[in-house]
Amino acid sequence: ERYKTAQQQVNALETILTTDQKREKIQYWTSRVEQDTVQSLTENLEKILAKYDTAVLNRTEMGQATGASGIGGRTEHPFSRMQLSFEGGFKPMQLLLAELENEMPHLLLESITIRPQPAKNAGEKGNLQFGIVYLCWEKSPDAKTKKTKGS
C-alpha cells in the first residue's frame, strides 16, 4: 500500500514537472543559487547599470554588510549579506532593483535608506543616495553534499 501511494505521488510530481518546462526552470534557478553570490551580484549589477548613464544611476559601494541580520539570524539556512550604495534617480533605482531581484530571486531586501543629495552648483538637479542591504540565501551544505554524492 505504501509503495502504491509513493508511486502515485511520484507520478503526480512528474506530471507537474513536465508541465510548462518546470523541470528545466527548476534546474536553471538551482544553478543560479549555486553560483558565487558576490560574482553573480557583480555581473548582474554591471549588466543592469550598463543601461544607464552614470549621471542617472551610479553604484558607489559594494561589500559585505556588517552587523547581525534581523531576518537571516533566525534561521539555520546559510546566507550572506551584501551592502550596496548608489547615487541617482528614484525611477532608475526602482527598475534596477526589480531587474536584479528578477535575475536573483534568492535576494531578500533587508533594508533600504534614501537620502536627498543637494545639487553641487546652482541650476543643477540634486540626486538621491540609496543605501541597500540584501540578504542572499545560499544553497545549504546538505544539498551540495547530496549533489556531490549523487553525481
Domain boundaries, the chain: 35-150
Strand partners, 57: 88
Supply the pLDDT for residue 19.
78
Supply the pLDDT for residue 149.
46
Supply the pLDDT for residue 148.
46
Higher pLDDT, 112 or 119: 112
CA atoms 70, 82, 130, 68: torsion sign: positive
What long-range pairs does 53-58 form, CB within 8 A, spacing at least 24? 55/88, 56/88, 56/89, 56/92, 57/86, 57/87, 57/88, 57/89, 57/92, 57/93, 57/96, 58/86, 58/87, 58/88
Contact between residue 89 and residue 114 where contact means Cβ atoms under 8 Å apart: no
State the pLDDT confidence band at 47, using cuts at 50, 70 and 90: very high
CA angle centred on 148, ends 142 and 151, rounded to 5°: 135
Higher pLDDT, 116 or 148: 116
State the pLDDT confidence band at 143, using cuts at 50, 70 and 90: low
Judged against a pLDDT cut of 70, whether residue 150 lies above it is answered with: no
Supply the pLDDT for residue 119.
82
Backbone angles phi, psi at 67, to 5 degrees: 85, 175
d(CA 40, CA 106): 11
Supply the pLDDT for residue 52.
95
Is domain 35-150 given the CATH code 3.40.50.300 in the classification? no
